[in-house]
Amino acid sequence: MSKQSKHKVLIVDDQNGIRILLVEVFSSEGYETFQAANGKAALEIVKLHTPDLVLLDMKIPGMDGLEILKHIKQMNPDIKVIMMTAYGELDMIKEATDLGALMHFTKPFDIDEMRQAVNMQLKGTANNIG
């Protein structure tokens, strides 16, 4: 398998359970997955591994999602970012979109929808949607 063929997905969430779930889902989809519980760790991974896509929680203690998003886009504007938000963070979602986030999922999200969205972004496949 050539190095190029595996897309890399970084999951940034301070909730361990969500990270474990998403790592499992995206590993089984054939992605190389990374996880971070905070902004500092997330940016370290971005620097070292240049993920293709980041699933980024909006509410993270310390550096919040918007700040992490800004840093990611400064480091590499090509990295795709999908935000995960709690109910009622609409004002932040608009700002995230302005900063370059592609879309957002409100928790609790439908894991299949998220999987399809990521596959669509990374594999360019629009099947199974509907």
User: pLDDT averaged over consecutive 10-residue blocks of the chain (130 residues)?
Assistant: 74 96 97 98 98 96 95 98 87 94 94 96 65
Q: What is the pLDDT of residue 62?
A: 92
Which two structure tokens, joined as six digits, stand for 86?
A: 């709690």
Q: What is the pLDDT of residue 129?
A: 42
Q: What is the pLDDT of residue 5?
A: 67
Superfamily of domain 3-89+98-123: Response regulator (3.40.50.2300)
Q: What is the pLDDT of residue 24?
A: 98
Please state the pTM of the whole predicted model. Answer: 0.91
Q: What is the pLDDT of residue 2?
A: 44
Q: How far is CA 109 from the centre of its chain?
A: 13
Q: Find where tokens 């359970």 sit.
A: 17
The answer to whether the CB of 43 falls within 8 A of the CB of 72 is yes
Q: Are strands 8-12 and 32-36 parallel, antiparallel or unpaired?
A: parallel
Burial class from Cβ neighbours inside 10 Å (0-12, 13-18, 19+) for residue 39 reads: buried
Which two structure tokens, joined as six digits, stand for 126?
A: 């629009």
**If you ran DSSP here, which 8-state letter would residue 109 be given?**
P
Give the separation between CA 60 and CA 64, rounded to whole angstroms. 5
Cα within 13 Å of Cα(50), Cβ side? 7
